[in-house]
Structure 1
C-alpha cells in the first residue's frame, strides 16, 4: 500500500471514490464534467486543493482532499480536510490513521498547527476513529447556499 499525492492518471478513480463517498453519506452526486473540473482544481500551477490517494495492488482504494484556509478567530492558518474516504474492503487496516498523519505532516510543512473537518452525525464509526486520534468536535450545522453563475 502506498499513500501519495494524486496524479492526472488517478482522476477517474477519484471520481468513482467521490461517487461512493456521497452514497455513503446519503448525498447526491453528479459526475458530469468532473474530470475536467477536478484536473483544473488539483493540477493547475496555482492549485490550493491537495489530494492524497491510497493505492493498494494497483487499485486506488481511498482518497483525501484538503486545502489551506484561515481562521479569523484563531488569527492563523489551518488545513481543512474536505473529504476522506476509504472503500469498505480496505477499512480497518490503519489506512485512515496513516492518511491523517500524512495530512498532519503536510500541515506542519506549510506552517499550520491544526486540521479541521466535519462528518455526518450518523457516521459513528468515523466519529469514534477521530476521537481515538485525539480530535475534538463542535456541534454546528453546515449550510450550503448554491446559485447559478
Structure 2
C-alpha cells in the first residue's frame, strides 16, 4: 500500500486510489447506499455538484479514497483534516467509511482504515477519529478489533437548520 494519498495501493482484497472528478457519481451512489444502511436515506441532501466542489473545488474541504474489487467500486472513505488544541497537531477525521455488502469480509474496510492511518502518520497527525452509530455492533466490533477505543466521556452535539440559523442571527 502506498504511503502517499496520491498513489494507488493494491492488495489481495482491493485496489485503493484517490477519488477523481470522474468518480463523483460513484461516490454519491456510495453515500446513498451508506444512508440506506444507516436507516436515513431521506437525510442525504448532497448533490453531485456539491460533492465535486467539496472534493475538487478551489478550496477542497475533504478527500476521498475509493476501493475497487473485481473491476468495480466496492467502498470508500471520505475524510478531512482536523486540529487539536491539546496536542497542537492536526488529526484526520473519518467522516464516512462504507463497503458495499457484497464486498464485505474481504479486508476492504481494514485496507481503507490502514490507508488513512498511514496518511495520518505521514502528515504527523496526532490521531485518526470517527463516529459510529451506537446500534452498529458489527462496525463497533470491527473498530475495536483494530485497537480503536470509544470515547464514552464525550457526547457529540450538533446545530442545524432552524437552530443553527437562530443562533447565527
Is the TM value for this pair above 0.5? yes
Given the alignment, which residue of 71, 77, 80 partners 2:90? 77
RMSD: 1.8
Match of 1:142 among 128, 142, 156: 156
CA positional deviation for 1:32: 5.9
Which of residues 27, 34, 54 is equivalent to 2:40? 27
The 1:125/1:30 distance shift into structure 2, 3 A limit, reads closer
Question: Relative to structure 2, which stretch is displaced further, 69-78 or 11-20?
Answer: 69-78
Correspondence for 2:57: 44
Gaps of 5+ in 1: none
Q: Secondary structure at the match of 1:125?
A: helix
- Tell me the matched-pair count: 149
Larger radius of gyration: 2
For 1:135 and 1:60, locate their aligned partners in 2 and report how far apart those are by CA, in whole Å. Answer: 26
Query: 1:100 aligns to what?
Result: 113
- Which sections of structure 2, spanning at least 5 residues, go unmatched? 1-13
